[in-house]
Homo-oligomer: A and B are copies of this chain.
Amino acid sequence: MIVIMRADATKEEILKLKGKIEMEDCRVSVVQGEKHCILGLVGDTTKIDPSKIEANEFVERVTKVQQPYKLANKLFHPHDTVIKVNDKTIGGDKLAVIAGPCSVESEEQIVEIAKTVKESGAGFLRGGAFKPRTSPYSFQGLKQQGLELLKIARQETGLPIVTEIMSADVIDEFERDVDIIQVGARNMQNFELLKQLGKTTKPILLKRGLSATIEELIMSAEYIMSEGNENVILCERGIRTFETYTRNTLDLSAIPAIKRLSHLPVIVDPSHAAGMWWMVEPLSKAAVAVGADGLIIEVHNDPENAKCDGQQSIKPERFDSLMKDLVVIANIGKKSV
């Protein structure tokens, strides 16, 4: 940690602050610049709260040197994490493709889509049972019944199932029934939920919040990991910017950034990012080209009658032809589907 003092800080104030910091078991190096004095904090700075230092009126600002996460930090765990999900894996040299409808609507629908996407090469089935909706008057999902239908689709196809959890009170059912538990963008900093998920044994698919920085996303993974569950898959799904043509702006730079900062696998959701079905194919290819470990794509056999997000779902035949292109691009990055 580096503390930059104000130009008008007196020697006395600087020494007072130095002494205070050293009482927390840190060593402090003082570098006197032309105008500003700089304090370099050496040692275990994890106990130091930067906001306390910034509360000192002679402090200009505080800069962190080290990333605030440990368990998710590539610095301490240089090997990329590969997560086992039943007989499949996410991370490493495999491209994981998760496909399925926005929400589970009926047994017929989910089983049919599951069979189709499996045939095209998808490795996992997605489908919403509990749906976070901006409006309380919108369809909120089939809930427990949706989970049951996902289980049927899994039985029929063998595909592991991925679905979103919205509150901690159903965590036992999710741990028992679901193969990958998804945390949505809106709950990325629902810290109580993250802590509870940290106590489960199932892989967690953690989506980046609409305005979360890369560091905050990794910190939310750290919340889960710090409770014992180290199987976290990160997911870039578009961030909120001033551009309104697309629903969100897919931040593909986040993929190489996360790969440099963390050992956790990271996948991309092109469907929610753009919010328009005709963008899903080009963005999926770009995501694989940039180095993502996988994709989560909305596929629906009848988008115009889908109960939610039909505008961003692609039809099975487009998904099928997309998969063929993805295989070629994945190969360039030494990945296979």
The interface bits of chain A over 214-228 (1 if a CB of B lies within 8 angstroms of the residue's CB, else 0) are 111001001100110
- A332 B285 Cβ-Cβ under 8 A: yes
Selected A-B contacts with CB under 8 Å, 23 pairs: A29-B29, A33-B41, A33-B65, A34-B43, A38-B65, A49-B139, A51-B312, A52-B305, A68-B137, A132-B191, A166-B191, A209-B211, A213-B242, A213-B243, A239-B242, A243-B251, A246-B253, A249-B249, A252-B286, A285-B289, A286-B290, A289-B329, A329-B329
Interface residues of A in 228-266 (CB under 8 A from B): 239-246, 249-257, 260
One of A109-117, A149-157, A270-278 at the interface: A270-278
- A213 B244 Cβ-Cβ under 8 A: yes
- A229 to nearest B CB, angstroms? 12
Q: Which of B136, B211, B309 contacts A210 (CB 8 A)?
A: B211
Query: CA separation between A12 and B51, bound complex, in Å?
Result: 35
**Residues of A that sit less than 8 Å from B by CB:** 2, 4, 7, 29, 31-36, 38, 40-44, 46, 49, 51-52, 54-57, 63, 65-66, 68-69, 75, 132-139, 166-169, 186-187, 189-193, 195, 209-211, 213-216, 219, 222-223, 226-227, 239-246, 249-257, 260, 273-274, 276-279, 282-283, 285-291, 303-313, 325, 328-329, 332
- A215 B245 Cβ-Cβ under 8 A: yes
Other CB < 8 Å A-B pairs besides A31-B42, A57-B278, A169-B169, 12 of them?
Answer: A33-B66, A34-B44, A34-B66, A49-B139, A52-B311, A132-B189, A168-B169, A213-B245, A239-B242, A252-B286, A256-B283, A328-B328
Q: Which of B7, B136, B167 contacts A226 (CB 8 A)?
A: B136
Instruction: Indicate how many identical chains form the complex.
Output: 4
Q: Is the interface of A mostly helix, strand, loop or mixed?
A: mixed
Q: Which residues of chain B have C-beta atoms less than 8 A from A306's C-beta? A: 51-52, 55
Query: CA separation between A33 and B26, bound complex, in Å?
Result: 10
Q: Which residues of chain B have C-beta atoms less than 8 A from A210's C-beta? A: 211
- A303 B55 Cβ-Cβ under 8 A: yes
Q: Which residues of chain B have C-beta atoms less than 8 A from A41's C-beta? A: 33
For A186, give the chain B residue with the smallest CB separation.
Answer: B189
